A and B are shown apart, each in its own frame.
Chain A
């Protein structure tokens, strides 16, 4: 789990120590205590999830520290905890972007604790990761998106190109090909990596709610809007927003999105304030967007605005031996995570894996391998341990160009599986000699 990093900025030793002690009672909190505003500002690269800031500091005024934190990253919530019992000061600080304002009294700790709880919930809801932790994982796309095929090598080149600029990126690929991983790889290898990566799957949100998810709303904007909500575009400021399944967005919302992207500013629902943002947009779809435009389902002007650098993510069935490379990777990972002895993949199992078309792509392969590791009774994954959800093994036959010899091998392998390795029966079914079948199986190189 990501730790929740809290900066306590408090020059009073007694109060600072008490806050530090109290907040550290929750082991998920990673509390840093600074006695000056300067120390706090110098440590902003540690990506605090929350700053508890004393208004009166010996070196810099609290309002100045607040301003500098907001300039560094407007998404860091700052709570002013102060002995200043002046309502005007509180109102001004809230206007300047403070998340909340608490006077130092006996209710401070409950208020702070509740705020920490609410901000944590919001982080979980928006799936916000601590950027430093993600960066520390060295988001190396060649490590995350595994493969040796020419298709994947080509994809790496596109990711590098996209990472070097702020161009919009459109990702095209079937379900399960890893479009989200490519989007993250672009973000975490770009100069926006220290800012948020915010993802939204258009199909996961009811269409009547998508505008409020993207642009936010003000308190009282509609029934049930009990608090202000910050939208995804604002949350992603200076970072990247990833809009998955963009082709599913309805036309009315497409018009609003186009206007916001063109103007680089938005207004929360029910609000008057114009909010400028700086966001790199990555979109993804498994549909043919050109075709969607032709059919009138997708606005042409939005299509050109979002297209930017189009990147095609290859389906697994076109990636040749990447299937085995990924299978070994998923198997080793699964065994490690579940304290199982390392297993190999038998020749028969490899052949079977290579014969399948993987309509669910890498995601499906991962599930197949994990199940096979569970079903396997010894140190190797055998053919019998591999079970596919789809039996469309023949679909794969013409999905990829092959030599005649290759096609023959695949057909024989398929029939051997179907008739449980009964060579005479297979020979009869294919009107071939048994010796020919034995010879082809013997020479098969997978």
Chain B
């Protein structure tokens, strides 16, 4: 796989036992669902609903792990912990910005690589 790719499908491919036909289906779920999760995180952060923010960050974690988006695997955990421990809230905006930009870029790459329009 290319070095500049944000994602790595080796874990999800192994999970579904190298079924090439299915991988496209899981990519389409990622492309459909991750923007909704991001929107939930942004909304919760904007309205300072930290319990909701923690919940949605926790949920997004498994998608990031399954698609091995290494740039974000530590960040998503940091967001969850910061909210959980109610410490250093000033770090959250930067992390959430990065979460948005990296995930949007990963989605674009996936769309391109799997020839998915929209």
Partner of B30, one of A14, A22, A105, A109: A14
* A421 CB-CB contact with B under 8 Å: no
Q: How many inter-chain contacts with C-beta < 8 Å in the A-B complex?
A: 50
A contacts with B: majority SS:
loop
Candidates A13, A21, A106; contact of B33 at CB < 8 Å: A13
Interface residues of A in 12-33 (CB under 8 A from B): 12-15, 17-18, 21-22, 25
Interface size on B, residues (CB 8 A): 21
**Is the CB of B11 closer than 8 A to any CB of chain A?**
yes
1/0 per residue, CB under 8 A from B, across A102-126: the answer is: 0011100100000000000000000
Q: Flag if B62 contacts A14 (CB, 8 Å).
A: yes
Question: Counting CB contacts under 8 A, is B75 at the interface?
Answer: no
Q: Which of B11, B25, B59 contacts A56 (CB 8 A)?
A: B59
Interfacial chain A residues near B25, Cβ < 8 Å: 17
Contact B22 A14 (CB under 8 A): no
Please tell me if the beta carbons of A15 and B58 are within 8 angstroms of each other in the complex.
no
Assess A14 versus B26: contact at CB under 8 Å? Given A22-B15, A104-B62.
yes
In the complex, what distance in Å separates the CA atom of A15 from the CA atom of B14?
A: 13
CB contacts (< 8 Å) of B12 on chain A: these are 18
Tell me the bound Cα distance from A18 to B17 in angstroms: 10
14 A-B pairs besides A12-B59, A17-B26 with CB distance below 8 A are A14-B63, A14-B66, A15-B66, A18-B16, A18-B26, A22-B16, A25-B17, A83-B58, A83-B61, A83-B65, A84-B58, A104-B61, A106-B11, A106-B14
CB distance from A194 to the nearest CB of B (A): 34
- Chain A residues, Cβ within 8 Å of B55: 56, 58
Q: Are B26 and A105 in contact (CB under 8 A)?
A: no
Task: Assess whether B29 is interfacial by the CB under 8 Å rule.
Answer: yes
Selected from A22, A25, A56, A104, the residue in CB contact (under 8 A) with B65 is A104
Chain A residues in contact with chain B, CB under 8 A?
Answer: 11-15, 17-18, 21-22, 25, 56, 58, 83-84, 104-106, 109
Which residue of chain B lies nearest to A17 when distances are taken between CB atoms in the complex?
B29
CA of A56 to CA of B52 in the docked complex: distance in angstroms?
A: 12
Q: Shortest distance in angstroms between A298's beta carbon and chain B's nearest beta carbon?
A: 57
The one of A15, A21, A84 in contact with B16, judged by C-beta atoms closer than 8 angstroms, is A21
Q: Using Cβ atoms and an 8 Å threshold, which residues of chain B touch A84? A: 58
Inside 8 A of A83's CB, which chain B residues have their CB? 58-59, 61-62, 65
Task: Quote the shortest CB–CB distance from B53 to chain A (angstroms).
Answer: 13
**Do A14 and B33 form a contact, CB below 8 Å, given A21-B16, A25-B17, A106-B11?**
yes
Q: Which 6 A-B pairs have the closest CB atoms?
A: A15-B62, A104-B62, A83-B61, A14-B29, A14-B63, A18-B15
User: Does B30 lie within 8 Å of A21, measured CB to CB?
Assistant: no
Cross-chain contact A56 with B16 (CB below 8 angstroms) = no
18 contacts between A and B (CB under 8 A): A15-B62, A15-B66, A17-B26, A17-B29, A18-B12, A18-B15, A18-B16, A18-B26, A18-B66, A22-B15, A22-B16, A25-B17, A56-B58, A58-B55, A83-B61, A104-B62, A105-B65, A109-B14
